[in-house]
Amino acid sequence: MANVKKIALRYLLGICIPSSKQNAAKVRVPRLQFDDYINMYFKEHDFVYANDPQKLCKTGDVILIKMLPNKLTRLITHEVVEVIHPLGDIMDPITGKKVVGFQYREDLDEITQLFGKKETAYDYGKAPKRGGLEDIRDFTHKKMYLKYYDDLKDPQPDTV
């Protein structure tokens, strides 16, 4: 029998964080590390790069990634399968209804119909979709750096 190298496909759940790579998402994957001295598990994070040519995920999304059989580059070892929970409008995974805090939006709409709507109440139906102010006022998709010096010749883009 020939030597067949088996590669187990591993699916991981992680949170997309800002990345400076083109067509790749940087993903923070949580894992539990066991401490022998205390006999407890502690949460630690691994950071991996996932291939994302369709730009499916944005910063803050919970995504499902799988390990590639062969590395694309030295850093890119995984691939984005799907976006599980986009950042922003939260949906209950069991019922599929949208949630605000600990209540369903449908229940809040019924309460506003019964008692009347306040002028200061937030209208979720008129809220703009996520990403409308990207590169205008929202720079969360870019990797940020601290500005260490002020120089007019070197503007240091993407700094805080």
Question: Count of domains in the chain?
Answer: 1
Write down the pLDDT at residue 91: 83
Domain containing 80: what range? 11-87
Q: Please tell me the pTM assigned to this model.
A: 0.70
Dihedral sign (CA 130, 87, 134, 24): negative
Query: Which is higher by pLDDT, 91 or 141?
Result: 91
Query: In this structure, what token pair is assigned to residue 63?
Result: 């995504």
Report how far apart, in Å, the C-alpha atoms of 44 and of each of 20, 62, 78 are: 23, 17, 19
| Residue 122 domain-assigned (yes or no) | no
Residue 127 pLDDT greater than 70, yes or no: yes
Confidence band of 2 (pLDDT split at 50, 70, 90): low
Residue 83 pLDDT greater than 70, yes or no: yes
| Residue 47 domain-assigned (yes or no) | yes
> Residue 50: which CATH number?
2.40.50.140
Residue range 39-49: mean pLDDT, rounded? 95
Residue 147 pLDDT greater than 80, yes or no: no
| Residue 109 domain-assigned (yes or no) | no
| Residue 159 domain-assigned (yes or no) | no
